[in-house]
């Protein structure tokens, strides 16, 4: 009984931590200059933080050498939140295809929409090596896996 209760408690804590980790919200803790620099690096990128420090009387290199943003360097803070933003933008971004009426373009489009093997079979082109935008058709179609495609 005691071990099952412990396992349930550990599972609950682990699940709660993973749910909270995906919903990151940044809020400045105070209104100090250091906080403003860290917050601008996390939300707008390293260039914005650089501009903010440059406008002050501080030297950027010396200032960032001693600055810590929640235990991380300014560069690491900017990279961490930039990666999170890029991952979210990639999942939300739609891909727009511009094709002409040629058979090759239709095969490339179908490869993305319904799969390479099905597209080649649909157009009876299994024996041929199809190139889409200077790439093999399989490589081309793989780039668009899991993305929303609009025509």
Q: How confident is the model at residue 15 (pLDDT cuts 50, 70, 90)?
A: very low
Show Cβ contacts of residue 119 under 8 Å, excluding neighbours closer than 6 positions. Answer: 107, 110, 111, 113, 137
Q: Is 136 helix (H, G, I), strand (E, B) or coil?
A: strand
Nearest to 51 by CA among 42, 61, 60, 38: 60
- What is the mean predicted confidence (pLDDT) over 37-50? 87
The confidence score (pLDDT) of residue 17 equals 46
| Lowest-pLDDT range of 22-31, 49-58, 86-95, 140-149 | 86-95
The confidence score (pLDDT) of residue 128 equals 85
């Amino acid at each position: 009984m005691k071990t099952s209760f412990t396992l349930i408690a550990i599972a609950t804590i682990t699940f709660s931590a993973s749910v909270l980790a995906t919903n990151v919200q940044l809020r400045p803790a105070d209104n100090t200059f250091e906080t403003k620099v860290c917050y601008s690096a996390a939300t707008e990128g390293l260039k914005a933080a650089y501009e903010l420090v440059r406008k002050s009387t501080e030297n950027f290199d010396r200032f960032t050498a001693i600055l810590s943003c929640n235990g991380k360097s300014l560069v690491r803070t900017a990279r961490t939140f930039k990666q999170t933003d890029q991952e979210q933008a990639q999942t939300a971004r739609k891909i727009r295809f511009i094709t002409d009426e040629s058979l090759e373009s239709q095969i490339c489009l179908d490869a993305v929409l319904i799969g390479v093997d099905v597209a080649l079979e649909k157009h009876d082109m299994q024996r041929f090596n199809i190139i889409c935008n200077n790439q093999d058709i399989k490589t081309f179609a793989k780039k668009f896996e899991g993305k929303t495609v609009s025509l």
